């Protein structure tokens, strides 16, 4: 007990003695009774005060030890590692030497096979800027956010937050720095693709526009009275205008396809009739490039589930590309193929192949063919009025139709573009899937 708590008992005892001695003065009594009474009263009071102090100390000891035991149990049961494991983000703990003391499951998903508890963090991230920032965090006790590129072994763009753990936090492994990781590779790639798209579209439009402006200035100038050159320049201007029109049409098609991509078509169409129309309309083009075009599709081919206009655009782009770039004296065939064991395709799909025996495509270009504005041979593409968007449109149409495109090619042997589309008999399932989406 403290002094404030003992004040009241002392005051009460003093008042008791004063009143008692005053009463003794009014009555006859032996003279020795007053000191005996006072001694007896003081002894009782002393015993009372000691008992109060004893009980108070025991209560304090019990309360203090109970809190200590409770705090230790909480700290043992609520350590940081258990909490971090439950958080659905990649999180890593490192100690003051930079050694990894803990990594939750999501961090191991982000960094498979290269993240090992017990290793120094430099064995996972070798980026100089990352290691410099970690050193700064460890020496200056700062919380820092950093963006850096890491080879894991695939190049990834990672954002990391370095956070100092509070001194009174309980880390079973001794971790003092918490690293929160965010993989921004996909968003950065999308931003880069968007930037490249705007840049490429601007470039593709600027080139024909510059040509047209130059021709107009020439016609208005020294070729004003030159009929022969004027006709030539007007013809060239017409070609450039057609090129711009094709580019704008393809850009609009891409924009429309992106909006429709998550809305699968529900109607059916006769793919044989569509390809018959395409092959007939491309006969002049096949003669121009001296390429033989053959349609080997059977007349009884199964209908497919699809948007007729988009399916027409899909096969037009594929056949036109083959005619333009397979090379003179080659043959372009449109054929129905059976499902092959080494190709993982759903059973409800029908395969149509555009195959040629021409120049072929180098292997390093194949995986990029469906990128916007990507060309194997830019000069040849522009010479033959290619926009660089044809196969990108094909990819988006197939995405909407839940189809697949497989490209195979060998130099001087030819190329195969195989399209897989859903058959009509699965229309009910397609409608069910569309409603679910």
DSSP codes, 82-102: HHHHHSSS-EEEE-TTSBEEE
Q: In whole angstroms, how far apart are CA 400 and each of 106, 194, 346, 395, 421?
A: 32, 21, 16, 9, 11
What does the pLDDT average to over 350-378? 87
The whole-number pLDDT of residue 170 equals: 64
How many C-beta neighbours within 10 Å does residue 231 have?
11
State the pLDDT confidence band at 240, using cuts at 50, 70 and 90.
Answer: confident
What does the pLDDT average to over 320-333? 90
Whether 302 contacts 262, CB under 8 Å: no
> Residues 352, 358, 360, CA angle at the centre, nearest 5°?
85
Query: Worst-scoring range by mean pLDDT, 71-80, 169-178, 314-323, 387-396?
Result: 71-80
Q: Is 122 helix (H, G, I), strand (E, B) or coil?
A: helix
Whether 102 contacts 175, CB under 8 Å: yes
State the pLDDT confidence band at 243, using cuts at 50, 70 and 90.
Answer: confident
The pair of structure tokens assigned to 284 is 């002049």
Which residue is listed with tokens 């589309």?
A: 421
Name which of 158, 125, 162, 168 is nearest 140 in CA terms: 162
In a 10 Å sphere around its CB, with 0-12 CB exposed, 13-18 middle and 19+ buried, how is residue 377 labelled? middle
State the pLDDT confidence band at 209, using cuts at 50, 70 and 90.
Answer: confident
What does the pLDDT average to over 211-237? 84
The pair of structure tokens assigned to 418 is 């195989």
- Beta-carbon contacts of 156 under 8 Å, excluding residues fewer than 6 positions away, are 149, 150, 183, 185
Mean pLDDT of the chain: 80
The whole-number pLDDT of residue 69 equals: 46
Q: Which residue has the higher pLDDT, 7 or 255?
A: 255
Query: Worst-scoring range by mean pLDDT, 111-125, 362-376, 417-431?
Result: 417-431
Q: Which residue has the higher pLDDT, 385 or 315?
A: 315
Q: In whole angstroms, how far apart are CA 359 and each of 187, 325, 405?
A: 37, 8, 20
State the pLDDT confidence band at 91, using cuts at 50, 70 and 90.
Answer: very high
- Beta-carbon contacts of 88 under 8 Å, excluding residues fewer than 6 positions away, are 106
Q: Enumerate the CATH 1.10.287.130 domain ranges in the chain, comma separated.
A: 189-260
Range among 5-14, 56-65, 218-227, 238-247 rated most confident: 238-247
- Beta-carbon contacts of 247 under 8 Å, excluding residues fewer than 6 positions away, are 201, 204, 205, 387, 389
Q: Is 50 helix (H, G, I), strand (E, B) or coil?
A: helix
CATH of domain 189-260: 1.10.287.130
The whole-number pLDDT of residue 174 equals: 72
Above 50 in pLDDT, residue 62? no
Per-residue b or e along 294-306, where b marks 16 or more CB atoms closer than 10 Å to that residue's CB: eeebeeebebbbb
What does the pLDDT average to over 349-368? 89
What single DSSP character describes residue 338?
P
Above 80 in pLDDT, residue 128? yes
Q: Any bridge partners for residue 293, and if so which?
A: 332
What does the pLDDT average to over 84-113? 89
The whole-number pLDDT of residue 74 equals: 46
| pLDDT tens column, 30-54 | 666 667 667 767 777 777 777 766 6
What does the pLDDT average to over 258-278? 89
CATH of domain 268-436: 3.30.565.10
Q: In whole angstroms, how far apart are CA 4 and each of 10, 45, 203?
A: 11, 17, 88
Name which of 333, 334, 330 is nearest 290 in CA terms: 330
- Beta-carbon contacts of 344 under 8 Å, excluding residues fewer than 6 positions away, are none
Q: What is the DSSP string of 252-315?
A: HHHHHHHHHTTS----EE-HHHHHHHHHHHTHHHHHHTT-EEEE---TTPPPEES-HHHHHHHH
Above 50 in pLDDT, residue 270? yes
The whole-number pLDDT of residue 397 equals: 93
Whether 182 contacts 158, CB under 8 Å: yes
Q: Is 26 helix (H, G, I), strand (E, B) or coil?
A: coil
Helix axes 390-400, 308-325, angle to 10 degrees: 150
Name which of 256, 261, 258, 267 is nearest 437 in CA terms: 261
The pair of structure tokens assigned to 193 is 């693709």
d(CA 178, CA 161): 8
The whole-number pLDDT of residue 187 equals: 83
The pair of structure tokens assigned to 132 is 């410099």
Does domain 80-183 fall into CATH 3.30.450.20? yes
Q: Enumerate the CATH 3.30.565.10 domain ranges in the chain, comma separated.
A: 268-436
């Amino acid at each position: 007990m403290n002094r404030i708590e003992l004040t009241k008992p002392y005051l009460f005892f003093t008042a008791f003695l004063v009143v008692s001695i005053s009463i003794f003065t009014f009555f006859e009594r032996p003279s020795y009774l007053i000191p005996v009474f006072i001694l007896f009263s003081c002894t009782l009071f002393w015993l009372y005060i000691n008992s109060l102090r004893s009980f108070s100390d025991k209560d304090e000891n019990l309360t203090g030890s109970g809190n200590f035991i409770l705090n230790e149990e909480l700290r043992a049961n609520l350590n940081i590692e258990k909490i971090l494991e439950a958080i659905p983000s990649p999180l890593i703990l490192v100690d003051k030497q930079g050694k990894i003391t803990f990594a939750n499951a999501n961090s191991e998903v982000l960094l498979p096979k290269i993240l090992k508890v017990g290793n120094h963090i430099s064995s996972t991230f070798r980026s100089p800027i990352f290691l410099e920032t970690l050193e700064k965090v460890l020496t200056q006790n700062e919380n820092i956010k950093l963006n850096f590129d890491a080879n894991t072994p695939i190049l990834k763009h990672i954002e990391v937050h370095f956070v100092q753990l509070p001194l009174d936090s309980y880390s079973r492994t001794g971790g003092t720095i918490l690293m929160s990781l965010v993989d921004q590779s996909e968003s950065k790639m999308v931003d880069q693709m968007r930037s490249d798209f705007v840049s490429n579209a601007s470039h593709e439009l600027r080139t024909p526009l510059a040509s047209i402006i130059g021709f107009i200035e020439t016609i208005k100038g020294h070729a004003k009275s030159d009929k022969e050159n004027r006709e030539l320049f007007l013809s060239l201007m017409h070609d450039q205008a057609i090129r711009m029109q094709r580019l704008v049409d393809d850009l609009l098609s891409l924009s429309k396809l992106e909006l429709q991509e998550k809305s699968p078509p529900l109607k059916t169409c006769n793919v044989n009739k569509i390809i018959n129309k395409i092959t007939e309309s491309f006969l002049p083009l096949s003669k121009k490039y001296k390429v033989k075009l053959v349609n080997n599709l059977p007349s009884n081919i199964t209908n497919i589930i699809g948007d007729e206009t988009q399916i027409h655009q899909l096969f037009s782009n594929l056949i036109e590309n083959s005619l333009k770039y397979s090379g003179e004296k080659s043959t372009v065939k449109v054929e129905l193929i059976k499902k092959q064991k080494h190709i993982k395709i759903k059973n409800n799909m029908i395969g149509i192949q555009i195959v040629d025996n021409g120049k072929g495509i180098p292997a390093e270009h194949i995986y990029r063919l469906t990128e916007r504005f990507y060309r194997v041979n830019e000069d040849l593409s522009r010479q033959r009025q290619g926009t660089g968007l044809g196969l990108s449109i094909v990819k988006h149409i197939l995405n909407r139709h839940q189809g697949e495109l497989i490209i195979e090619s060998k130099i001087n042997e030819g190329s195969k573009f195989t399209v897989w589309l859903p058959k009509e008999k699965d229309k009910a399932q397609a409608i069910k899937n569309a409603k679910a989406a």
